Structure 1
Amino acid sequence: MSTRRPAAPPPEIPGFHYVDVLGSGGFADVYRYEQELPRRQVAIKVMLADGAVSDAAQFTAEANVMAMLSSHPAIVTVLQAGVAADERPYLVMEYCPGPNLQVRYRREPLSVAETLRIGIPIAGAVETAHRAGVLHRDIKPANILVTEYGRPALTDFGIAATAHAPSEATGMSIPWSPPEAFGDVQRSAPRSDVYQLGATLYTLLAGRSPFEIPGRSNGTADVVDRIQTLPLPRLDRPDVPESLQEVLAKAMARRMADRHPTALALARDLQRIQAELGQTVTPIDIIDERPVAERGDDSDGGRTRVRGVVSIEPQAAGGASVDADTVLRGAVSIEPVDATVIRPPYSAKKADAPRTEISAESARARWPWITAAVVVGVAAAGVVAAGVPALLAPPEPQETTATIAPQDPVAVVPAVEQLTGEVAGDEVVFTWTNPDPEDGDSYIWDAAAIDEEPDPEVTEETSVTVPARGAQTCLTVTLRRANGTSSADETACVGG
């Protein structure tokens, strides 16, 4: 948040003691307080006393959205909300002591490894919001905080909107906004958030926003014109692999149809780059929305793998601003063995069961808000259950020092080729080829329009027929192996 204006005096809030100011924004200030019971540091966002009625409604909407989503490990946790004695609404949130990513990149660009470790969990958070029907609409470095455990956490859903309804909230962060935000009729869709996340990752690597050109005029009109007309400039860094240049260019394509169809698809591309570079692959956390009967078990050919709730990585976790080479989390260092952590909704009968990882592609139904909130308690219980035995167990030298060799959970799966479409009356027939067929291959395809949420389907054929959609019909196809790994997306469009 900006600190250009002085913050208003902090309100008196029962059960909390004021500590200091964290920042100030357009219609609210953020302070650090100490909560009395349980005793802990918290961040409290307080609306300005002269806020308009629309600002109050926006503030309330932000509180509700963040509460709905804050069970996700890469979204800042909301603890409570209320109205202070001076009638200013406030929102009590998890305190993230690390500098936000805007502060970090302005000091110096981040490494490729750290940028990937940040991008993947944040993409999982964005995917979770989209599955809940929420668009963030303001993803940028300043809105990614760092928790006490060094993990990135997305915050500030102040101008969020549902994916199916417009929002009256105004405001945008121009350097990270997609081209469609500047049209005569502003549009927002899940792929708009994908663009902003891509622009954020580009910024972390470049040390500046994507269309800011050093030594030239970078006023609002200049930046907007470049966003709308210029291709994405290449990152001038020899350590950035070509594959990452291509993934960022796809995420920030000017046409929405040319971008990754989902934040999850972007996360998987980032995982593949980690595997390509020989790095530990960061898990993706999303909610498993399928019925229990459809989740399979541990013997389904590797698609489902059980992993402990606590994982310890040799790198600083999640993009932390940590200089030390070692992060202490327990006695044994274990690398994650799957690419995607899909968290099942809470069940009282399953509360003590281990977390299950499923490399699933479907699961589009909305998960209940109450169930999502209760997952926090389950995850916390799992952490305690997994951590306490490791801390209390007597030391065994060989096991304590042993490290399970890292495994790349994402195999290199080739994308489909020769994806083309042919108009046949009021339908379009799309066909493609598989460059390296294997037993059990299937294809995930999605013909949603660019302003619609993705609605993928699965086929074992190399052809699908879809209804023609006005001026242009597009299809996105992903090759999926029998073990659950998948390729990058390929998209083709045909004029009507």
Structure 2
Amino acid sequence: MSGRRAPQAPPELAGFTPVELLGSGGFADVFLYEQELPRRRVAVKVLLPDRMATGSIDEFTAEANVMAMLSTHPAIVTIYQAGVAEDGRPYLVMEYCPKPNLQVRYRAELFSVAEALRIGVQVGAAVETAHRADVLHRDIKPANILVTEYNRPALTDFGIASAAGAGDAGGLSIPWSPPEVVGEKPTSDARSDVWSLGATLYSLLVGRSPFELPGQRNTGVELITRIESAPLAPIGRSDVPPSLQRVLQRAMSKSPADRYSTALEFARALQKVQIELAHSVTPIDILDDGTPAGVVDDADDGLTRVRGVVSIDPAPAPVSPPSAPEQWAPDDATRRSRRETAAPQSSGDATVVRVAAIDPLPAGPSRFETVPAPTAAQTAAPAAPPLPPTSATAAASAPPSASAPPVAARSKRGLWFALGAAAFVVVVGVILALALPAVLGGPAAPTPEASASDRPIDVVPVAPGAPEGLAGAVGSDGVTFTWTNPAPEDGDEYLWGVVPRDGSDPVLERTAETSVTVAADPSGTTCVQVLTRRANGQASAPSTACTT
């Protein structure tokens, strides 16, 4: 977003209806469109016409290819399609993330330690995924981390991304760039992205970029000098543990050799802080390339391979030991399905009946399956060499003697008597339960009904809508900007700031009014950014307007 120009008009795209401007940058504008089929809201990034004569088209094409390759990751913005409008402007159709990006949020309120750690692990996994695809982002900063409808961070703007080891590219953001990138001979590798991610998390916790000093000059020259030589200032919050300060200091070391070597290593260090604070540990989502070559899915005959996302927890769950095999005798037709845990033993008979072996069952009632009778080939070959018989196995394998009593017959008669007695008791109990209240004259038990309080209640606060109708009028005392609140509530206030001409972040001030008057910019173009903030601290997406 920059104050040097007014935004361009949205292009006409078949199947899409423009809704509003979402933001402007040095290379492109981003618009909200309504897609007709499938019906959904999408963000469309459109390259500026004056950038089409330079190498920006190549960068734009590279961004489309990189995002298409990586956008299946849950923490990377999804790209739906790319094309060229009828007026010749290239565009990207991307996932629309309606919530304020991290830059808007950290200016309005400080992030909690828990949320900063969660975002760090999730975005760290996205960066690791890009690095494994041999892609460096090279512009990680709060403004390039959007927030989805489900409150997940989504890394975007791969416009200056490059292959690992490639040369320098323009368009860097100085406040979140490491020393080796802002130096006289810029270089970058995976550890440069680690530095920028650490600087981003630092900003979320302190409310400003790492080397920005309140009340002092913070031009690009001053920031570069501090990035190269000044130590990282302590965060200065009582709820931030020293371990998190140390993790960020290492990630932002002046020398790349002193940093975490990979984004994965950085994310694991953040997980350890979560464990120390007894927080829920955020999983690390990365692509799994380690599928065994010999594993073939029957459904596709091994012709299709899908690389899934794997969640890496800090420690694997303990595995319960297998339980001892049950001692029971199946009848002739039905066998309980279970896995053998001991070597089969020969009973001395010519026929060996094997219990079917399947995968372990989940906890719950046992399953039963019918096992077909063994074939002649199965009855001819023993399953294993015979083992020395023990007293138990000898007794089990010995044929019954002629004088043995008919145990099975007596057992069946006893079973029928037991079942009959149990049925009698149940019937008597039901009769008493139904008749006793009527005999005694007592009221029947009321039927429980669900109350309104039993139903789930959505307690997630809804972010306010962005200011609408923001416009400026030039007068004798300056430029007056006015706007409206689409859904005002008690306690609403507005954060506003003049957008600097150099493209840096505006300094936001508070007001309860829906208008401000500012001095006209000498260049002739004056831009103001305004956002709504609720009494609970939730902020809207920003609205920006310029006058010429």
What TM-score bracket applies, with the shorter chain setting the length? 0.5 to 0.7
For each residue in 1:370-391, what CA deviation from the matched residue of structure 2 results, as whole angstroms up to 9, or x when unmatched? xxxxxxxxxxxxxxxxxxxxxx
Aligned: 1:31 with 2:31: yes
| Contact map agreement 1:135 1:163 (CA 8 A) in 2 | yes
Displacement of 1:171 in angstroms is 1.8
1:246 aligned partner, one-letter code: R
For 2:517, the equivalent position in structure 1 comes to none
For 2:325, the equivalent position in structure 1 comes to none
In the alignment of these two chains, the number of paired residues is 313
Superposed, which structure 2 residues align to 1:272-291 within 5 Å?
A: 272-291=272-291
Displacement of 1:359 in angstroms is 6.5
Query: Which segment is superposed worse, 98-107 or 179-188?
Result: 179-188
Higher alpha-carbon Rg: 2
| Contact map agreement 2:174 2:182 (CA 8 A) in 1 | no
The 1:147–1:133 alpha-carbon spacing in structure 2 relative to 1, beyond 3 Å, is: same
For 1:13, the equivalent position in structure 2 comes to 13
The 1:67–1:13 alpha-carbon spacing in structure 2 relative to 1, beyond 3 Å, is: same
Displacement of 1:164 in angstroms is 3.0
SS of corresponding position for 1:45: strand
Displacement of 1:200 in angstroms is 0.2
For 2:61, the equivalent position in structure 1 comes to 60
SS of corresponding position for 2:49: coil
Distance 2:264 2:111 in 1: 22
| Contact map agreement 1:127 1:262 (CA 8 A) in 2 | yes
Displacement of 1:291 in angstroms is 3.4
SS of corresponding position for 2:129: helix
For 1:376, the equivalent position in structure 2 comes to none
For 1:125, the equivalent position in structure 2 comes to 126
The 1:349–1:12 alpha-carbon spacing in structure 2 relative to 1, beyond 3 Å, is: closer
The 1:156–1:354 alpha-carbon spacing in structure 2 relative to 1, beyond 3 Å, is: closer
Distance 1:360 1:117 in 2: 14
Distance 2:310 2:117 in 1: 23
For 1:250, the equivalent position in structure 2 comes to 250
Q: RMSD across aligned C-alpha pairs, in angstroms?
A: 2.7
Aligned: 1:202 with 2:202: yes
SS of corresponding position for 2:211: coil
For 1:106, the equivalent position in structure 2 comes to 107
Distance 2:314 2:291 in 1: 13
Superposed, which structure 2 residues align to 1:134-283 within 5 Å?
A: 134-166=135-167, 169-283=169-283
Displacement of 1:183 in angstroms is 2.2
Q: TM-score, normalised by structure 1?
A: 0.60
Displacement of 1:7 in angstroms is 1.2
Displacement of 1:221 in angstroms is 1.3
| Contact map agreement 1:3 1:25 (CA 8 A) in 2 | no
For 1:115, the equivalent position in structure 2 comes to 116
For 1:90, the equivalent position in structure 2 comes to 91
| Contact map agreement 2:194 2:260 (CA 8 A) in 1 | yes
Superposed, which structure 2 residues align to 1:475-490 within 5 Å?
A: none
Distance 1:360 1:242 in 2: 20
Distance 1:241 1:4 in 2: 42
| Contact map agreement 1:3 1:24 (CA 8 A) in 2 | no
SS of corresponding position for 1:19: strand
Displacement of 1:24 in angstroms is 0.7
For each residue in 1:53-92, what CA deviation from the matched residue of structure 2 results, as whole angstroms up to 9, or x when unmatched? 3011111111111111101100000000000010100000
Displacement of 1:214 in angstroms is 1.2
2:135 aligned partner, one-letter code: V
1:37 aligned partner, one-letter code: L
Displacement of 1:350 in angstroms is 8.0
Instruction: List runs of 5+ in structure 2 lacking aligned partners.
Output: 296-301, 316-453, 456-548
Distance 1:359 1:43 in 2: 33
For each residue in 1:82-129, what CA deviation from the matched residue of structure 2 results, as whole angstroms up to 9, or x when unmatched? 000101000000000000100000001111111011111100000000
1:286 aligned partner, one-letter code: I
SS of corresponding position for 1:292: coil
The 1:130–1:354 alpha-carbon spacing in structure 2 relative to 1, beyond 3 Å, is: closer
| Contact map agreement 1:124 1:284 (CA 8 A) in 2 | yes
For 2:485, the equivalent position in structure 1 comes to none
The 1:18–1:128 alpha-carbon spacing in structure 2 relative to 1, beyond 3 Å, is: same
For each residue in 1:274-322, what CA deviation from the matched residue of structure 2 results, as whole angstroms up to 9, or x when unmatched? 1111111111100011232599xxxxxxxxxxxxxxxxxxxxxxxxxxx
Instruction: List runs of 5+ in structure 1 lacking aligned partners.
Output: 296-346, 362-399, 402-496
1:63 aligned partner, one-letter code: A
1:85 aligned partner, one-letter code: E
| Contact map agreement 1:4 1:24 (CA 8 A) in 2 | no
Displacement of 1:4 in angstroms is 5.7
| Contact map agreement 1:3 1:23 (CA 8 A) in 2 | no
SS of corresponding position for 1:235: coil
| Contact map agreement 2:117 2:274 (CA 8 A) in 1 | yes
Displacement of 1:144 in angstroms is 0.2
| Contact map agreement 1:12 1:84 (CA 8 A) in 2 | yes
The 1:74–1:355 alpha-carbon spacing in structure 2 relative to 1, beyond 3 Å, is: closer
For each residue in 1:13-66, what CA deviation from the matched residue of structure 2 results, as whole angstroms up to 9, or x when unmatched? 001011100011112100000100000000000011222230111111111111
The 1:356–1:7 alpha-carbon spacing in structure 2 relative to 1, beyond 3 Å, is: closer
SS of corresponding position for 1:53: coil
| Contact map agreement 1:138 1:172 (CA 8 A) in 2 | yes
Q: Percent identity, aligned pairs only?
A: 62
The 1:241–1:138 alpha-carbon spacing in structure 2 relative to 1, beyond 3 Å, is: same
| Contact map agreement 1:5 1:24 (CA 8 A) in 2 | no
Distance 1:350 1:65 in 2: 21
Distance 1:66 1:83 in 2: 17
1:134 aligned partner, one-letter code: V
Distance 2:85 2:165 in 1: 33
1:12 aligned partner, one-letter code: E
For 2:45, the equivalent position in structure 1 comes to 45
Distance 1:220 1:92 in 2: 33
The 1:7–1:278 alpha-carbon spacing in structure 2 relative to 1, beyond 3 Å, is: same
| Contact map agreement 2:283 2:313 (CA 8 A) in 1 | no
Distance 1:356 1:96 in 2: 24
Distance 1:153 1:145 in 2: 5
| Contact map agreement 2:286 2:311 (CA 8 A) in 1 | no
1:255 aligned partner, one-letter code: S
